[in-house]
């Protein structure tokens, strides 16, 4: 169920086709937030016709991830995993920095998994560029500089722990969001993403949509 946990602000892909809607300010962005709603749909398509659709949804208490695999010319196989959301929070500061923490746990196939993730980085509004339809402060860029993931697997009373810490250069792991709604106690963000990778004779393309709703803690 690893895919479930790599969600908010940690996807290094090219941002495309964002729709204009709202705008914010440093004062409205800066707060201690909790994630109340999260939705991500990602479609991976191979040049041989194989397709996989990942759908992840989160509330304040529950996370669900569905994977639908469709081989070229074959039928679709769907698997679903669930987890309990223990913590899913984010702090955005006026000084241009942010931190996030996430703690999830779940049992699938007799294996109990508990994963904690912490990340930090910088953020800034994206300036208006010639030819786009965005107004000032309608887009916000989150730059991830550090990320730590710890997973504890427990099977028949025996636990195994794995941990990793990754550091990124500025601009290496970036996500750009459109501000859909910005109020004193609520923030809604949306991003449309796309990525194409070619290796030998195979080309893989990924398209996705992510929406996040944050509420003041």
Between 4 and 179, name the one with better pLDDT. 179
In this structure, the number of other CB atoms found within 10 A of the CB of residue 99 comes to: 15
Domain chopping of the chain, boundaries: 2-216
Q: Beta strand pairing status for 77-92 and 62-70?
A: antiparallel
Buried b (16+ CB within 10 A) or exposed e, 15-31: beebeeebbbeeebbbb
- Which range has highest mean pLDDT (21-30, 62-71, 120-129, 193-202)? 62-71
Question: Which residues pair with residue 65 across a beta bridge?
Answer: 56, 81
Structure tokens given for 108: 């699938």
Q: How far is CA 145 from the centre of its chain?
A: 15
How far apart CA 46 and CA 206 sit, in angstroms, is 9
Confidence class of residue 131 from pLDDT cuts 50, 70 and 90?
A: low
Between 46 and 26, name the one with better pLDDT. 46
């Amino acid at each position: 169920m690893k895919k479930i946990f790599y969600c908010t602000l940690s996807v290094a892909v090219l941002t495309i086709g964002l729709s204009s809607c709202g705008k914010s300010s440093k004062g409205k962005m800066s707060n201690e937030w909790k994630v109340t709603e999260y939705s991500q749909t990602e479609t991976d398509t191979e040049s041989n016709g194989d397709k996989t659709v990942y759908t992840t949804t989160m509330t304040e208490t529950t996370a669900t991830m569905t994977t639908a695999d469709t081989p070229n010319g074959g039928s679709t196989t769907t698997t679903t995993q669930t987890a309990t959301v223990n913590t899913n929070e984010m702090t955005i500061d006026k000084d241009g920095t942010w931190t996030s923490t996430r703690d999830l746990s779940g049992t699938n196939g007799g294996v109990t998994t508990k994963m904690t993730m912490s990340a930090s980085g910088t953020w800034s509004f994206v300036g208006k560029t010639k030819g786009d339809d965005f107004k000032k402060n309608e887009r916000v860029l989150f730059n991830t500089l550090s990320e730590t993931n710890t997973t504890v697997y427990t099977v028949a009373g025996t636990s195994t722990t794995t941990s990793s810490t990754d550091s990124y250069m500025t601009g290496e792991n970036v996500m750009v969001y459109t501000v859909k709604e910005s109020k004193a106690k609520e923030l809604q963000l949306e991003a449309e993403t796309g990525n194409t990778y070619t290796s030998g004779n195979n080309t893989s393309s990924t398209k996705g949509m992510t929406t996040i709703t944050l509420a003041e803690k």
